[in-house]
Each structure stands twice: as C-alpha cells, then as structure tokens.
Structure 1
Amino acid sequence: MSAPWPYPFWIAHRGAGKLAPENTLAAFRLGASHGWRMFECDAKLSADGVVILLHDATLQRTTSGQGTAGDLPWSTLARLDAGSWHSRQYAGEPLPTLENVTRFCRASDWLLNIEIKPTPGTDRATGEEVARVAALCWAQAAVPPLLTSFSPKALAGARHAAPHLPRGLLLDGLPEGWLDEARSLDCGAVVNQHTQWTAETVEQTQAAGLRALSYTVNEPEAARRLVGFGIDGIITDRIDLFAPAARSA
C-alpha cells in the first residue's frame, strides 16, 4: 500500500519550462503566476560546497560563464548572467542557490522537486549536501521537497544525510532490476521518461508501493496516454498549456 502522496499531479519543469531562463527565480515567479504550485529544479555544488541551481555540468549553455560550474567558487558563479541566453527580457538574471529558491517557495507554500545533478565524480557528496540543505531549509514544513536523481550514489548520499526526505529514482527507460534498485534506495517514486511507461509498468510500480511519475510531457496526447495508465504525476515545460489544478490533460 502506497504511503499518502502530498504532491500535486502537475510539476513545472525547471520553474517555467521554456518560457523563462531555466532554474532561475524569474522562472519560478513566472511559473507561479500561471498558477503552478510545484516546481522541478536541478541542483549541484560549487567548488566551495554551495548548492546552486544549474542543469548542465558546464556553464556556457545557460550562463555568461565558461567551464565546469563545480570547479568555480560561489563568489564567481554569483556574478554570472543566467538570463541573457534566453532573451533580452531576462538579461542579468543571476544563478540562484537552493536556499534562495527555498525561501521563495516557503513564503507561498509552493513545493519543490529537487533533481540532484552532480558534477561527474561528486555524486555522493552532492547528494549528501543537497539533502542536508533541503532538510535544514524545509524544517518544520508540512510537505518536504522530493529529491530525485539519475545517480544511485547521489540518492544513497541523500538517504544518509536526510533519511526522512522522500526520494525518487530517475530513469530513461526501465533496465533490468530497475524496481529492485528503487526499493533498495528506499525511494517512494520512480520518475521515468514518458515514452517508456506502459500501463503494465505503471501498475507494477504502484503495486510495489511506489509512485510513478513522468517527464517531460509537453503534448496533450502524451499526457492523456499517461493519465489513462494511472500515472501519479507529470513534469512539463508547457506551463501555458496544461491546467495545473486539474488531473486531466
């Protein structure tokens, strides 16, 4: 029997999908203005151990910086422009820390799905620190953040640092032993690429007491298919298309 699931069905990918620069406070504000209550984001460590929001290992796609983010201290990363790559409207938007985003969400009772996105070679340390910061920032919160990762080592680190925080195993397919791995990490959810779910694997996940979530669902037809399977949650870029208060597509 699955434990009670406190999260909404719809989750805004990286704050506001593609409508604002991903993983910035500007994106969270835009997502919130569209009525979204839960946001997915990517978290990794700076060289001096600050948890920042950034998807890629390197800086050049989404900031004015170059090189590997994990090689630089927060004092350098804090000065980067994380908005101009998206559009002139967001020029000068800074990289946020996980603490920045937490304060924003806690002020309005919004929820977070924090994807632990380690710089290669730092999986366990990143999982531990993300979980430590999340546990501290969300202490006394009615609903804690959901921690997810493609890295079992990162999830193991998160479990060690904050075993009470819920976790989800991210997958891009269902390789042999996927369900056993999720259970061995004491996960409460499996988050899979949307084309890889079937009605049978959703049912199998739920029968094991886990929730089945799906990313990144941007087409109504794909969402309807997943709803028909009985999926427990959908992550989407299309905050302008789907109604976050509804369970239907």
Structure 2
Amino acid sequence: MTPWPYPRWIAHRGAGKLAPENTLAAFRLGASHGWRMAECDVKLSADGVPFLLHDATLERTTNGGTATAGALPWSALSRLDAGAWHGRAFAGESLPTLAALAAYQRANGLLLNIEIKPTPGAEHATGRVVAEHAALLWADAAVPPLLSSFRPESLQGACETAPQLPRALLLDSLWDGWFDIARQLGCVAIVTHHRLMDAALHQRARDAGWRTLCYTVNEATDAERLLALGVDGIITDAVDRFAPAAG
C-alpha cells in the first residue's frame, strides 16, 4: 500500500473534552499532551471564509444564539465567544479560521484531519472552497491535511478543486452504495464509527487499497480491539488518558 504519513492517534476537535472544541486553545492543549495530529470541523461563513465549528447552529458552543452559522458573515462570527460555555478560563476564545489553525499547526510541525462540515444545502461549495484554501495553506507542506466528510458532495467538490489532497469518506452506517462512492471519489481511507469496524470491513478496505480510521474511541477496550485489527487511525476525546506516542 501507499505509505501512510499520519500518526495512528488523532485528537478529536483539538483536545477532546478538555477545552472548548475547535478553538485554538483546544489545539494548543492537545499539542501540550503530545498529540501530533488533530481533527477539526470546517464550514463556510456567508461570505466564504472557512472557519471551525461542528454544529450547523451557534447555540451549543458560542454566545451566538440559535442562528445558522453559515448564514452570518465572518465579521459577525469573529466577534463571538466560543470559550465561555466550557468554563471561565476560556472566556473570550474566538472561532478560528482555517488559516489561523493552519498557521499554528504548521509552525509546530503538527498534522491535521479536516472534516468538511457543510451547512445543509452548501455541501458541494463547501468542499470546493475548503479544499482550495487547504491546498494554498499547505502548498509546500511535506504532509498535507487529510480531508474527510460524511457528505459525498463535499468530497466531490474537494476532488474537483484540489485532487492532490487525500480524501476519506466518513461513515456512521454502511449505507447502500458507500463502497462505490468512496471508490469513485478516489478516497484513500474510510473513517467509520468505531462500532462499525470489524475484521471483515477492515479487510474489505485493505483489498480496495484504503486505510481505516475510527471515531470517537474513548474507551481502552475499544482502542485495544481496533489496534488488534490493525486500523490506521484512532480519533479520540481521551487525550489525557491515551498515550499518542504509543504508535
């Protein structure tokens, strides 16, 4: 198989539950625990700026109320508090742009899995723009970011804009046609919910030439089972309990 340049252990949304997800504070904290690769969620502002946020709306992780994040311009999103919900120590932490995270990761020799997380209805456009920005931000990088998404339309957009960037299909179920879609999109990996991954699926992926990653693996027994299968990536919130240098 093609050599795999990424570490096996990946910090979910920067530092799991230890810091406000998808903020620079989270990525700094994850790095302080020794994590060399992190996962993040990226969507577009109304004026096309790629920024980090998981949910379609703002209320869970910011003070932006129930507004749809992708309906607001970056000038409004950039003023929101994305840290106070997690604790007073993080009050004032802002939503980062993909460019800001790229600068931090690259300056510190850290790798990234970018989950393309489009606002509903903007799947294809989000894939195109996120991939375009990622290609520029990591233009001279030895190891590019891994782009992943649950949405085939987003991966298609990414493929059209930056076909050189590696892509992975995220799966929370083995829906009809997933295998053919992953192959048509030129994916290098599948990323499944950890309960989906078994020996048969792992072997099927290997036979297709794909790597296998699993999310969100927070229990040692689950991690041990997946490591025994030979999966290539474990995405976890438990950045303070697992040892990423273990392999």
- The TM-score, its normalising length taken from structure 2, stands at 0.98
Report the counterpart of residue 222 of structure 2 in structure 1: 222
* Aligned positions of 1:145-160 closer than 5 A: 145-160=145-160
What's the secondary structure of 1:245's corresponding residue? helix
Report sequence identity in percent. 65
Report the counterpart of residue 106 of structure 2 in structure 1: 106
Report the counterpart of residue 52 of structure 1 in structure 2: 51
CA RMSD of aligned residues (A): 0.6
- CA deviations 1:102-122 (Å, max 9, x no partner) are 000010110010000000000
Structure 1 residue 13 corresponds to structure 2 residue 12: yes
- CA deviations 1:1-38 (Å, max 9, x no partner) are x2111000000000000000000000000000000000
Answer whether contact 1:172 1:196 (CA < 8 A) is retained.
Answer: yes
Structure 1 residue 179 corresponds to structure 2 residue 171: no
Structure 1 residue 138 corresponds to structure 2 residue 138: yes
Report the counterpart of residue 95 of structure 1 in structure 2: 95
Consecutive unaligned residues of structure 1, counting only runs of 5 or more, are none
What's the secondary structure of 2:47's corresponding residue? coil
Report the counterpart of residue 244 of structure 2 in structure 1: 244
Report the counterpart of residue 189 of structure 2 in structure 1: 189
Report the counterpart of residue 42 of structure 2 in structure 1: 43
CA–CA separation in structure 2 for the residues paired with 1:70 and 1:45: 6
CA–CA separation in structure 2 for the residues paired with 1:9 and 1:218: 14
* Aligned positions of 1:106-125 closer than 5 A: 106-125=106-125
CA–CA separation in structure 2 for the residues paired with 1:165 and 1:204: 23
Answer whether contact 1:199 1:230 (CA < 8 A) is retained.
Answer: no
Provide the aligned length of Structure 1 versus Structure 2. 246
Q: Which stretch has the larger CA shift, 50-59 or 223-232?
A: 223-232
What's the secondary structure of 2:158's corresponding residue? helix
What is the identity, as a one-letter code, of the residue corresponding to 2:211?
A: R
CA–CA separation in structure 1 for the residues paired with 2:178 and 2:3: 23
What's the secondary structure of 1:92's corresponding residue? coil
CA–CA separation in structure 2 for the residues paired with 1:214 and 1:109: 23
Consecutive unaligned residues of structure 2, counting only runs of 5 or more, are none
Report the counterpart of residue 62 of structure 1 in structure 2: 61
- The TM-score, its normalising length taken from structure 1, stands at 0.98
What's the secondary structure of 1:191's corresponding residue? strand
What's the secondary structure of 2:155's corresponding residue? helix
Report the counterpart of residue 27 of structure 2 in structure 1: 28
What is the identity, as a one-letter code, of the residue corresponding to 1:155?
A: L
- CA deviations 1:110-148 (Å, max 9, x no partner) are 001000000000000000000000000001100000000
CA–CA separation in structure 2 for the residues paired with 1:225 and 1:113: 23
What's the secondary structure of 1:155's corresponding residue? helix
Report the counterpart of residue 128 of structure 1 in structure 2: 128
Report the counterpart of residue 165 of structure 2 in structure 1: 165
User: 1:178 deviation in Å?
Assistant: 2.0
User: 1:242 deviation in Å?
Assistant: 0.6
CA–CA separation in structure 2 for the residues paired with 1:39 and 1:129: 21
